[in-house]
């Protein structure tokens, strides 16, 4: 049994990752915003964390801690709380992320900074805060949530794609740097999952049915991905003893690299 810290774990893909690790018998600390940060759509808050805990408690040892991944001190506190609660920390799932879309010409500097602060610096902050604990573990791993947007660029998603390419680059670099400690570092690259990113921003106000219909047309396997698909991939990557530096696409054939 290992202890896993999942950032952005209150909902969406992060909650799926938390659930999969619990089902695999691990301790899970969900870390997310206690108060929604100002963003283009509603982020998680204490209420969302409470709901996640209520739903996940029957599955195993799970607790929640507030975190703002853009703030190093907050990351250090969350890591400390995890170690106090479960006695150590073996796996970090750097999953917190935000999206904003639009033409680069009119894209705001604050959206650009917000995306890079969460999606890139967030991985740096949490990983460094956890590093001593990971070095002390005899089965340590980091699993970053990148994206198919980290494999191929898209118009009107420049900042997001650039941040996810950065997440893939960080994954490869840290895999090499941490290999001497036996810490594996990998990423999952989700395709399209019907979370707030899609339903409250990229396809806001179009509804679940329109989302499903578009994805059925777009995705070779004919359906959007589920948070559980990402959870299974994350558990695999955190457990495979000889796999590191990989960014594993889970996208129903929409992206194959």
CB atoms within 10 A of CB 225: 23
Q: Does 20 bind ligand NAD (CB under 6 A)?
A: no
Please, which residue, 23 or 41, has the CB nearer to ligand NAD? 41
Q: Does 7 bind ligand NAD (CB under 6 A)?
A: yes
Is the CB of residue 233 less than 8 Å from the CB of residue 173?
Answer: no
Decide: helix, strand or coil at residue 50.
Answer: helix
Please, which residue, 140 or 159, has the CB nearer to ligand NAD? 159
- Residue 237 CB contacts under 8 Å (≥ 6 apart), including other chains: 141, 143, 184, 186, 187, 188, 243, 246, 248
Among 6, 115, 120, 193, binds ligand NAD (CB under 6 A): 193
Q: How far is the CB of 1 from ligand NAD (least distance, A)?
A: 25
Is the CB of residue 231 less than 8 Å from the CB of residue 214?
Answer: no
Strand 27-32 relative to strand 3-7: parallel, antiparallel, unpaired? parallel
Q: Which of residues 68-97 bind ligand NAD (CB under 6 A)?
A: 68-70, 95-97
- Give the pair of three-digit tokens for residue 114: 């917000």
- Give the pair of three-digit tokens for residue 52: 């996640």
Specify whether 236 is catalytic.
no
Choose, from 41, 160, 181, 236, the residue flagged as catalytic: 160
Among 29, 64, 98, 254, binds ligand NAD (CB under 6 A): 98
Q: How far is the CB of 6 from ligand NAD (least distance, A)?
A: 10
| Phi, psi of 156, rounded to the nearest 5 degrees | 70, 10
Q: How far is the CB of 225 from ligand NAD (least distance, A)?
A: 7
Q: What is the DSSP letter of 134?
A: H
Cα gap 201→199, rounded to integer Å? 6
Please, which residue, 42 or 179, has the CB nearer to ligand NAD? 42
- Give the pair of three-digit tokens for residue 101: 């879309």
Is the CB of residue 9 less than 8 Å from the CB of residue 52?
Answer: yes
Q: Quick one: which of 31, 12, 13 has its CA closest to 83?
A: 31
Cα gap 82→91, rounded to integer Å? 11
Q: Does 190 bind ligand NAD (CB under 6 A)?
A: yes
Query: If binding means CB under 6 A, how many residues of this protein chain bind ligand NAD?
Result: 30
The interface mask with ligand NAD, positions 29-68, x = CB under 6 A, is ---xx---x-----xx----------------------xx
Q: How far is the CB of 104 from ligand NAD (least distance, A)?
A: 19
Q: Does 4 bind ligand NAD (CB under 6 A)?
A: no
Among 11, 26, 151, 184, binds ligand NAD (CB under 6 A): 11
Instruction: Give the residue numbers annotated as catalytic, written as ranges.
Output: 160
**Chain residues that interact with ligand NAD, rule: CB under 6 A:** 7-8, 10-14, 32-33, 37, 43-44, 67-70, 95-98, 118, 145, 147, 190, 192-193, 195-198
């Amino acid at each position: 049994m290992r202890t896993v810290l999942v950032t952005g774990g209150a909902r969406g893909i992060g909650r799926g990752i938390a659930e999969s690790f619990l089902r695999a018998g691990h301790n899970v600390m969900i870390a997310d915003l206690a108060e929604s940060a100002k963003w283009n759509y509603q982020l998680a808050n204490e209420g969302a964390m409470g709901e996640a805990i209520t739903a996940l408690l029957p599955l195993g040892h799970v607790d929640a801690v507030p975190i703002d991944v853009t703030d190093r001190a907050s990351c250090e506190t969350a890591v400390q709380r995890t170690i106090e609660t479960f006695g150590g920390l073996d796996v970090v799932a750097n999953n917190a992320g935000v999206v904003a879309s639009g033409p680069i010409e009119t894209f705001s500097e604050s959206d650009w900074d917000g995306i890079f602060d969460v999606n890139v610096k967030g991985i740096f902050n949490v990983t460094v805060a956890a590093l001593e604990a990971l070095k002390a573990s005899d089965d340590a791993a980091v699993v970053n949530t990148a994206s198919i947007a980290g494999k191929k660029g898209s118009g009107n998603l420049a900042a997001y794609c650039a941040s996810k390419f950065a997440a893939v680059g960080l994954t490869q670099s840290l895999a090499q740097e941490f290999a001497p400690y036996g810490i594996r570092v990998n990423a999952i690259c989700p395709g399209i999952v019907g979370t707030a990113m899609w339903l409250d921003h990229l396809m806001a106000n179009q509804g679940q049915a329109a989302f499903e219909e578009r994805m059925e047309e777009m995705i070779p396997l004919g359906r959007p991905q589920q948070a559980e698909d990402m959870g299974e991939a994350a558990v695999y990557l955190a457990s495979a003893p000889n796999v590191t530096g990989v960014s594993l696409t889970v996208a129903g054939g929409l992206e194959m690299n």
